Amino acid sequence: MEATEVLGYIGALVVGLVLGLVGGGGSILTVPLLVYLLGFSPIVATAYSLFVVGSSSLVGVVQKHRKKLVDFKTGIAFSFPSFLAVYFSRRYLVHAIPETLFTMGDFAITKNMTIMIFFAIIMILASFSMIRNTKEDTLIYVNQPYYKTFIQGIIIGTITGIIGAGGGFLYVPALVLWAHLPMKKAVGTSLVIIAINSLIGFMGDLHNLYIDWKFLLFFSFLTIIGIIVGGSLSKYISNNILKRAFGYFTFLMAIYIIYKEL
């Protein structure tokens, strides 16, 4: 086993640890781990990431449900437009993108490069949401018709499908602002949406990709161990400090991805 492979598996534990401690965000590291340390293409990495995120979120749902921090009715209602978008983006959209989008002289803009740069932009947005650290009592609650939430779900679901991340940093504010859930319950409920979206999105890839199940199940197992350990440690560490620190780390990772691709 090579050093980069060992680092990749240690990274799987770290992803789970962050998910368990912070309640979200750790999944955004899965794709860079799979691409830069373990050598998978972005298409395969985003597919594998959906499975890892989905299976680990299921464990998170069980943990949060025991603490009565999950609103299943709201989560399932909100996930309907999202999982449709995730499935169809993985089944058709991602695989319909041409391998080379366009060229400028000798410089070619490829499909893999575009996916990774788009991923980095989403990471930057996620890092800002974690660094800003908005308090629940500063949020303004606004009632919204379901058709607008449906459109929001389609947009978030499409982004989730393309980048292979959970999208919790987008779902949590939506659940707080529109479903009027308290912050802690919004985090727990977002895991229901993330689990459904990610696993259904992954099913969209089964028709197009060869899946190395032995590797994928082992990587997911390590992530789940990390979640269990992180969940146990979370009561001893300040959530706000962790979120900010992870936000800065995510920002630096995004800059590295853009540098690496360009």
Instruction: Please state the three-class secondary structure of 201-214 as a single string.
Output: HHHHHCCCCCCCHH
Quick one: pLDDT at residue 133?
60
State residue 5's pLDDT score: 83
Beta strand ranges found along the chain (DSSP E): 100-104, 107-110
- Residue numbers of the domain that contains 186: 3-261
Q: What is the pLDDT of residue 255?
A: 92
**Cβ atoms of residues 232 and 24 within 8 Å:** no
How far apart, in whole angstroms, are the C-alpha atoms of residue 204 and residue 181? Answer: 31
Q: What is the pLDDT of residue 126?
A: 77
Cα–Cα distances in angstroms (integers) from residue 153 to residues 77, 102, 146, 170, in the given order: 10, 30, 10, 10
In whole angstroms, what is the distance from residue 126 CA to residue 251 CA? 8
Residue 146: what pLDDT?
Answer: 74
- The values of phi and psi at residue 99, to 5°, are -60, -35
Q: What is the pTM of this model?
A: 0.76
pLDDT tens per residue, range 154-181: 888 888 888 777 677 677 777 877 778 8
Region for residue 140 given its phi and psi (left: phi exceeds 0; alpha: psi -120 to 50; beta: otherwise) = beta
Mind listing the pLDDT tens digit for each residue in 60-88? 888 889 989 899 988 888 888 888 888 88
Per-residue confidence of the chain (262 residues) as pLDDT tens digits?
677 788 888 989 988 887 777 666 666 788 888 988 898 998 899 889 989 988 988 888 888 899 898 999 888 888 888 888 888 888 888 888 888 888 888 888 888 888 889 888 888 887 887 787 655 444 555 556 778 778 888 888 888 888 777 677 677 777 877 778 887 788 888 888 888 888 888 988 888 889 999 999 999 999 999 888 887 887 777 767 777 887 888 888 889 889 988 7
Number of domains making up the chain: 1
How would you class 238 by CB atoms within 10 Å of its CB: exposed for 0-12, middle for 13-18, buried for 19 or more?
exposed
